[in-house]
Structures are given as structure tokens and as C-alpha cells.
């Protein structure tokens, strides 16, 4: 059984005893998540998952516009997720239209960290659609949270690792200089981990995922923050991911050309080239024994 689920049951029991715990005070716009967490009787495993990259500085389709930043649309989990919002809301919305994604379809926005190339598209998006759960870190500036609440979002402030809905988890806040959380999804082929920039260190983030979930890691994708790293450092990251049993990698955004090339060489057929317009499904993550 998953550690996370053991934690969840423990949390659920405590919640029943205390009569419900509220995440964040009502003044902070926190909401009671007892109902969500207490519904986790079985280990959830997604049989379907689709990740569409809607903003990236790398391109996978000529029809899409690029800009520095990252955003991805994730379907298959209990809630449809917009992971980060890129740097430019107008561009984000145009790219979403090109991929036939209606803003109204988004149920959850997950913000990995506060940097503008991941949150810059938020306001333009909320002007279109704000009936969402918004997961940000507790350490985000008060003004940022105030603006988001002003649009009517249900703001959920993350500090510790936690389950967000049936098959969707956060690593919790990591790092000191730049705090960041990664998204973790449970699928039938293993865990899928999505990072924004991996500022706390990609290896540390993946190690935390492994420690919390004790499952095979099918894919790590997103910004690996190796754009300025020397080849030796990139090699060390590659070896560490290999040791952790990561099956597929899809580095993009701030990963850098050199790291993408080295990951491609080392992971071979287990390297997935991504950029804006790329669509990844579980069929791309078959077990390779």
C-alpha cells in the first residue's frame, strides 16, 4: 500500500476526530478538503492520461506559438488540470484554441512556482474562466493570492506533500531560494511527474516522489533547469534518474539544448522530445523490460 495512502487514512481519522480540518483559514480563502481526502478507499491508478503542452519555448508543431515559459493541460485524472500558465495569457489561450481546449474545461490550476514564465498567463486565463481550484504554494506573495481570489478561484495553499484528488498529488513545497512543487500522477504504467523548472533540484524532487509513493516512475517531464549546467553535472543527473528507475524522460523549457541532447543519447528510445503542441499519452510510456 502507498505511503501516501497510509498518510491519507491517518489524516482522515484525525479529521473525523477533530470534526474536519480546514486547509488555510477562511480569511485566507482556504477550503475544507476533508471530503476529497476521505474518499480514498482504494489505490487510484489512471488507465488514461493525456498531457498536452500548451506553452513552451521549444516547439513540436508548426501550428503553435512559442515563448519562454511552460504550461501543460492534463486530462485523465479526476480533475482536468492546467499545470502552470506560461508567461503570456493571450498566447496561452491561442495555443489552447489550436489544440481544441476550452478554458471552461479546466477544473484545477496547479502552479509549480511563482516565476512569471509559469504564472504570467494566469490573469488572462482567469478573465476567461475562474471557476477552478487553484493550487499555489503557501509562500506565494500575499498580493498574488489576493488577485487570484479576486477572480473567485478556490485557492488552496500547499506546504506539505498531499493528495489533491483521487489520482493527483503534490510533492509539497521544496527548496529555499525558489520554492517549488511538482505534480505527481498515479497511472497504470507507473508514476508521472511533471516539473515546472525544478529549481530545488530535479534529483531531489524525484527522490521525494520515490520516498512518498514507493512506485516505479514511468515519466519525468517538464523543466529540468539544466540550461546552464556543465556536461558533468548533466551526466550526474542522468545517472541519478537512472538509479531511481525513471523509465522515460521529457526535458523541455529550461532544460537546455545540451541536456536535451545528452538525455537523448543516454535514454535512447526512452527519451521523448517535447515542446509546445506535443501530446503524450500512456501509450507512449509502455514498460520496457
Instruction: Give the residues lining the site for Zn ion (CB under 5 A).
Output: 115, 117, 197, 254
- Distances in whole angstroms, Cα of residue 152 to Cα of each of 102, 130, 149, 222: 19, 6, 5, 28
Task: Specify the residue, 110 or 285, whose C-beta has the smaller distance to Zn ion.
Answer: 110
Q: How far is the CB of 87 from Zn ion (least distance, A)?
A: 8
Task: Specify the residue, 4 or 203, whose C-beta has the smaller distance to Zn ion.
Answer: 203
DSSP letters along 109-159, please? Answer: EE-----HHHHTTHHHHHHH---SEEEEETTS-HHHHHHHHHTT-EEEEE-
Check: CB of residue 53 under 8 Å from CB of residue 277: yes
Task: Specify the residue, 64 or 254, whose C-beta has the smaller distance to Zn ion.
Answer: 254
Task: Specify the residue, 197 or 285, whose C-beta has the smaller distance to Zn ion.
Answer: 197
Q: How far is the CB of 180 from Zn ion (least distance, A)?
A: 7
Q: How far is the CB of 103 from Zn ion (least distance, A)?
A: 22
Q: Copy the grid coordinates of residue 23.
A: 486547509
Helix, strand, coil percentages in the chain from 3-state DSSP, rounded to 5: 35, 25, 40
Q: How far is the CB of 76 from Zn ion (least distance, A)?
A: 24
Handedness of CA 6, 138, 28, 120 (dihedral sign): negative
Amino acid at each position: 500500500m502507498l505511503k501516501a495512502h497510509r498518510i491519507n487514512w491517518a489524516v482522515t481519522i484525525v479529521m473525523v476526530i477533530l470534526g474536519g480540518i480546514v486547509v488555510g483559514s477562511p480569511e485566507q480563502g482556504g477550503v475544507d478538503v476533508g471530503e476529497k481526502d476521505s474518499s480514498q478507499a482504494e489505490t487510484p491508478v489512471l488507465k488514461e492520461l493525456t498531457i498536452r503542452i500548451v506553452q513552451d519555448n521549444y516547439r513540436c508543431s508548426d501550428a503553435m506559438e512559442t515563448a519562454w515559459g511552460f504550461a501543460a493541460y492534463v486530462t485523465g485524472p479526476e480533475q482536468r488540470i492546467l499545470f502552470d500558465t506560461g508567461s503570456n495569457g493571450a498566447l496561452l489561450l491561442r495555443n489552447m484554441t489550436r489544440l481544441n481546449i476550452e478554458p471552461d474545461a479546466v477544473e484545477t490550476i496547479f502552479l509549480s512556482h511563482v516565476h512569471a514564465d509559469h504564472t504570467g498567463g494566469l490573469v488572462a486565463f482567469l478573465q476567461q474562466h475562474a471557476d477552478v481550484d487553484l493550487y499555489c504554494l503557501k509562500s506565494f506573495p500575499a498580493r498574488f493570492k489576493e488577485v487570484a481570489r479576486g477572480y473567485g478561484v478556490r485557492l488552496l495553499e500547499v506546504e506539505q506533500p498531499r493528495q489533491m484528488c483521487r489520482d493527483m498529488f503534490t510533492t509539497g513545497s521544496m527548496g529555499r531560494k525558489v520554492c517549488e512543487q511538482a505534480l505527481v500522477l498515479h497511472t497504470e504504467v507507473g508514476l508521472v511527474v511533471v516539473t515546472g523548472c525544478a529549481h530545488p533540484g530535479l534529483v531531489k524532487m524525484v527522490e521525494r516522489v520515490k520516498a512518498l509513493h514507493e512506485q516505479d516512475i514511468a515519466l519525468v517531464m517538464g523543466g529540468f533547469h539544466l540550461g546552464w549546467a556543465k556536461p558533468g553535472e548533466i551526466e550526474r543527473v542522468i545517472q541519478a534518474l537512472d538509479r531511481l528507475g525513471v523509465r522515460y524522460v521529457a526535458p523541455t523549457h529550461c532544460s537546455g539544448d545540451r541536456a536535451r541532447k545528452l538525455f537523448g543519447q543516454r535514454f535512447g528510445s526512452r527519451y521523448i522530445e517535447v515542446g509546445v503542441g506535443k501530446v503524450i499519452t500512456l501509450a507512449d510510456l509502455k514498460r520496457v523490460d
